[in-house]
């Protein structure tokens, strides 16, 4: 790991961590290379220890679940089946395993499964009591495939589903978001809440048009819930291998995050599978539950996706914007131990509040993925305002006819798993994919290169500030730097970030002359410091007349009025919206600015906030600006400079106070549901239509069936 330097006093969040060796005490007795094995939690925990993360977390003791807790989502038959496992012989365990899909049983499975479930509930209790801000449960067995009446897919009890039910019944929560990025569809969770609008389930999984396990018709994009829960089940089926950060981030920017702002979750549960990682072979919420499978991580031979370990840190940073919600991360899949371990460690690091590592190589989203997202928007947009008016309609075909045509084209010869096609006995070994020795060597080398190139250096101090003479400002958490006679306040802060003395900075000036002089900052820093070459400048101001011609600088001007007629190009973006407010501002960032920013991949981000009419009249507030500042803090390894013209007025003072919270990593107060009106959505669509010829990240503007 290059430049690894972890500051113990850098963290800001109280992050709960659950791990216990008790969950190591079972394995497949008849198959020594079975993918679900003790190292799946042992090695990730050791990686967290290596980075010094365990000692910075609130270590929460786990516990076994009660029968009452198991029965919230499972039948008494399943409960008794599990409790009887210690009494079975080797032969009886083998026979029992043939009765269930992708399962093995061991005398100690019951003890481990109950401990994993109980520990997940214990994490929820710590979140709801305010003892921790967020938390990660490094547990096995996983849970999201477990059905109401049968174990399935390495899963015995459904940890995420029981936690959600507990949150509803014990804590009276009504808006729970479950995010499942495990590369296998968490059908067990989907079935539990398919008609329940209190739970919004979002799954991003490999599908291959139904040819990938669990081979269910119900895992496709058009299964969106039923009755009152219609629209609250969201499947993004990945119909091709090799998808990576570009596709996963696009699903967040275009689907998940806009809907989450509308839903306003109270809890977010992340079913955190890391089998989509590179090399891996497999409403506003009140609570965020993340079923965290890492089999989408690079190198996993089940997932065969290419999400990098650092990519998960950025996804978690985005979800941390929902600060009223509790963030509960539960480990699910992940079978390439090296990428799984790195993914877990960088996820815990992100939860603690450390800056996100850089993510490279954002490419044009794959056309197969684009088609999937368009299909999903087609079926979801009647239920979510944020998805409406963002695409033109093709009046030549109805949605019903389109779905019939899709079924005929892609599902005609697929043998889906049903009760009728269920075999009398399931295979015990050899049914899982495996890489050859050469493939393993290739991915092992690739993951080592990723780890080595990921810069985790953290400066001794976090935030510096500089104020122009005559401005009164103090902050005990920040460090005031000495002003250089030969440099402006902004340049002084940028130099300190370039020297890695600080991670981010705040600047207050009396007057802000937005002119070509600001472009000289990039030139001076770029000439002197080799690590800072690309600059992202964002101007939140009206009537800015500034044109950039430097390919290493990208300027974004956001305002409510501008009499200039300059056109967007690869170095300039003009976002002028007459009725700019919090909802449209955040939507602009999700749909337009963040996709460009990740593709541009800056080394330093500078935001200039000055004369913006929308701030003066309280349409753009500190709530909305806090959200976008938080998103920007994930870029450039956290190297973010926020510059304000000191106005003295109440709206600007609130914005400055919010910026201090963002730079320090504190939680923000979440705004009301952010839903841009139809005129704003139309304006955003028109802007995207113009930008698609400049930036290839804009591929999601196809016409949709009526």
What are the tens digits of pLDDT across the range 154-203? 999 999 999 999 999 999 999 999 999 999 999 999 999 999 999 999 99
Query: Stretch 277-289: mean pLDDT, rounded?
Result: 60
DSSP assigned state of 365: P
Tokens of 494: 């940028």
Contact 484, 492 (CB under 8 A): yes
Residue 659, pLDDT score = 94
Query: Stretch 318-347: mean pLDDT, rounded?
Result: 91
Return d(Cα 531, Cα 141) in angstroms, integer: 43
Return d(Cα 14, Cα 17) in angstroms, integer: 10
Partners of 237 in beta bridges: 205
Comparing 67-76, 98-107, 253-262, 282-291, which segment has the lowest mean pLDDT? 282-291
Query: Stretch 498-518: mean pLDDT, rounded?
Result: 87
Query: Stretch 645-654: mean pLDDT, rounded?
Result: 82
Confidence at 5, pLDDT banded by 50, 70, 90: low
Bridging pattern class, strands 479-480 and 504-509: unpaired
List of residues 6+ apart from 210 with CB closer than 8 A: 216, 217, 219, 220, 411, 414, 416
Comparing 286-300, 353-367, 604-618, 634-648, which segment has the lowest mean pLDDT? 286-300
Return d(Cα 185, Cα 203) in angstroms, integer: 7
Return d(Cα 510, Cα 320) in angstroms, integer: 33
Q: Is the pLDDT of residue 106 over 90?
A: yes
Query: Stretch 613-636: mean pLDDT, rounded?
Result: 94
Residue 478, pLDDT score = 86
Contact 352, 56 (CB under 8 A): yes
Mean residue pLDDT across the chain? 91
Residue 261, pLDDT score = 94
Confidence at 647, pLDDT banded by 50, 70, 90: confident
Return d(Cα 62, Cα 57) in angstroms, integer: 14
Residue 486, pLDDT score = 52
Question: Which residue ranges make up each domain of the chain?
Answer: 15-352, 463-675
Cα Rg of the chain (Å, integer):
25
Contact 180, 144 (CB under 8 A): yes
List of residues 6+ apart from 93 with CB closer than 8 A: 29, 85, 104, 105, 106, 107
Confidence at 2, pLDDT banded by 50, 70, 90: low
**What does the chain come to in residues?**
706
At the top level of CATH, which class does the domain 15-352 belong to?
A: alpha beta
Return d(Cα 155, Cα 29) in angstroms, integer: 17
Contact 180, 205 (CB under 8 A): yes
Query: Stretch 625-653: mean pLDDT, rounded?
Result: 92
Q: Is the pLDDT of residue 138 over 90?
A: yes
Give yes or no on whether 15-352 and 463-675 have one common fold: yes
Structural element, H or E, at residue 493? helix 489-498
Residue 667, pLDDT score = 78
Residue 580, pLDDT score = 94
**Distances, alpha carbon 74 to alpha carbons 66, 150, 417, 500, in Å:** 12, 8, 21, 53
Tokens of 170: 């014990």
Residue 116, pLDDT score = 99
Query: Stretch 332-361: mean pLDDT, rounded?
Result: 94
HSE, side-chain direction, 13 A CA sphere, residue 411: 18
Q: Is the pLDDT of residue 316 over 80?
A: yes
Comparing 11-25, 243-257, 467-481, 640-654, which segment has the lowest mean pLDDT? 467-481
Q: Is the pLDDT of residue 1 over 70?
A: no
Confidence at 279, pLDDT banded by 50, 70, 90: low
Return d(Cα 113, Cα 108) in angstroms, integer: 9
Contact 269, 286 (CB under 8 A): no
Tokens of 20: 């216990």
320 closest CA partner among 276, 354, 360, 293:
354
Comparing 483-492, 637-646, 691-700, which segment has the lowest mean pLDDT? 483-492
Residue 440, pLDDT score = 87
Structural element, H or E, at residue 246? helix 245-251
Return d(Cα 273, Cα 335) in angstroms, integer: 9
Confidence at 470, pLDDT banded by 50, 70, 90: confident
List of residues 6+ apart from 172 with CB closer than 8 A: none
Query: Stretch 34-39: mean pLDDT, rounded?
Result: 97
Residue 362, pLDDT score = 87
**Distances, alpha carbon 360 to alpha carbons 453, 583, 657, in Å:** 10, 29, 32
Residue 518, pLDDT score = 76
Q: Alpha carbon 77 to chain centroid distance? A: 36
Q: Which of 91 and 305 is assigned the larger pLDDT?
A: 91
DSSP assigned state of 106: -
Q: How far apart are the first and last CA of the chain?
A: 51
Query: Stretch 646-651: mean pLDDT, rounded?
Result: 78
Comparing 107-111, 471-475, 527-531, 677-681, which segment has the lowest mean pLDDT? 471-475
- Looking up tokens 């026979």 gives 95
Number of other CB atoms surrounding residue 42 within 10 Å: 18
Whether 74 is a known active-site residue: answer: no
**Distances, alpha carbon 120 to alpha carbons 45, 63, 87, 158, 271, in Å:** 16, 9, 26, 10, 11
Structural element, H or E, at residue 114? helix 109-128
CATH-assigned architecture of domain 463-675: 3-Layer(aba) Sandwich (3.40)
Helices (H), 388-480: 399-410, 437-453
Range of 173-182, 286-295, 441-450, 613-622 with top mean pLDDT: 173-182
Contact 215, 324 (CB under 8 A): no
Residue 277, pLDDT score = 64
**Distances, alpha carbon 398 to alpha carbons 182, 230, 523, 705, in Å:** 33, 20, 54, 5
pLDDT tens digits for 197-236?
999 999 999 999 999 999 999 999 999 999 999 999 999 9
pLDDT tens digits for 566-616?
789 999 999 999 899 999 999 999 999 999 999 999 999 999 998 888 998
Q: Is the pLDDT of residue 493 over 90?
A: yes
Choose, from 74, 145, 184, 205, the residue flagged as catalytic.
145
């Amino acid at each position: 790991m290059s430049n690894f330097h972890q500051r113990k006093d850098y963290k800001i969040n109280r992050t709960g961590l659950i791990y216990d060796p008790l969950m190591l005490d079972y394995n497949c007795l008849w198959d020594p290379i079975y993918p679900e094995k003790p190292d799946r939690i042992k090695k990730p925990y050791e990686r967290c220890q290596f980075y010094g993360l365990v000692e910075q977390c609130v270590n929460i003791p786990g516990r076994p679940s009660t029968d009452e807790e198991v029965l919230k989502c499972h039948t008494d038959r399943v409960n008794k089946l599990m409790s009887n496992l210690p009494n079975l012989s080797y032969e009886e365990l083998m026979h029992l395993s043939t009765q269930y899909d992708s399962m093995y049983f061991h005398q100690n499975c019951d003890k481990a499964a109950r401990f994993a479930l109980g520990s997940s509930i214990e994490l929820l209790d710590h979140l709801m009591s305010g003892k921790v801000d967020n938390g990660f449960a490094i547990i096995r067995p996983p849970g999201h495939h477990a059905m109401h009446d049968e174990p399935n897919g390495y899963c015995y009890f459904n940890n995420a589903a029981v936690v959600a039910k507990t949150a509803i019944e014990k804590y009276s929560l009504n808006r729970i978001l479950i995010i499942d990025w495990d590369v296998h569809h968490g059908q067990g969770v989907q079935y539990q809440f398919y008609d329940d609008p209190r739970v919004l389930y979002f799954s991003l999984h490999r599908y291959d048009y139904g040819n990938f396990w669990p081979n269910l018709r119900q895992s496709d994009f058009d299964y969106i819930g039923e009755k009152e829960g219609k629209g609250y089940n969201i499947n993004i089926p990945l119909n091709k291998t090799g998808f990576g950060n570009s596709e996963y981030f696009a699903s967040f920017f275009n689907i998940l995050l806009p809907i989450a702002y509308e839903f306003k979750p109270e809890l977010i549960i992340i079913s955190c599978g890391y089998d989509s990682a590179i090399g891996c072979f497999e409403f506003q919420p009140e609570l965020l539950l993340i079923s965290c499978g890492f089999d989408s991580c690079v190198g996993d031979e089940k997932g065969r996706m290419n999400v990098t370990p650092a990519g998960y840190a950025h996804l978690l940073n985005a979800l941390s914007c929902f600060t009223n919600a509790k963030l509960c991360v539960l480990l699910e899949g992940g079978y390439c131990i090296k990428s799984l371990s790195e993914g877990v460690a960088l996820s815990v690091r992100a939860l603690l509040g450390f800056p996100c590592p850089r993510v490279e190589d954002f490419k044009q989203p794959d056309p197969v993925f684009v088609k999937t997202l368009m299909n999903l928007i087609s079926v979801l947009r009647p239920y979510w305002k944020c998805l409406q008016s963002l695409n033109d309609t093709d009046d030549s075909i109805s949605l019903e006819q389109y779905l019939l045509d899709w079924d005929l084209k892609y599902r005609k010869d697929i043998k889906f798993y049903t009760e009728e096609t269920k075999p009398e006995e399931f295979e015990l070994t050899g049914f899982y994919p495996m890489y050859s020795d050469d493939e393993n060597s290739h991915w092992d080398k690739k993951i080592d290169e990723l780890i080595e190139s990921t810069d985790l250096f953290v400066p001794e101090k976090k935030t510096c500030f500089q104020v122009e003479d005559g401005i009164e400002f103090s902050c005990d958490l920040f460090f005031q730097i000495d002003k250089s006679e030969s440099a402006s306040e902004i340049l002084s802060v940028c130099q300190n970030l370039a020297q890695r003395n600080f991670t981010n900075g705040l600047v207050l000036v009396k007057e802000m002359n937005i002119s070509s002089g600001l472009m000289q900052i990039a030139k001076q820093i770029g000439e002197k410091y080799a690590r800072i070459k690309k600059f992202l400048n964002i101007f939140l101001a009206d009537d800015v007349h500034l044109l950039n011609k430097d390919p290493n600088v990208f300027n974004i001007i956001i305002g409510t009025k501008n009499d200039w007629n300059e056109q967007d190009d690869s170095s300039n973006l003009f976002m002028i919206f007459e009725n700019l407010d919090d909802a449209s501002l955040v939507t602009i960032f999700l749909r337009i600015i963040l996709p460009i920013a990740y593709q541009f991949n800056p080394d330093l981000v500078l935001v200039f906030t000055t004369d913006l009419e929308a701030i003066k009249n309280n349409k753009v507030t500190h709530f909305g600006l806090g959200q976008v500042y938080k998103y920007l803090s994930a870029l450039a390894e956290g190297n973010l400079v926020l510059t304000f013209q000191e106005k003295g007025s109440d709206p600007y003072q609130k914005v400055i106070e919010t910026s201090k919270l963002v730079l320090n990593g504190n939680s923000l107060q979440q705004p009301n549901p952010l839903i841009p009106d139809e005129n704003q959505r139309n304006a955003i669509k028109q802007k995207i239509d113009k930008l698609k010829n400049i930036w290839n990240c804009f591929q999601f503007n196809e016409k949709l069936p009526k």
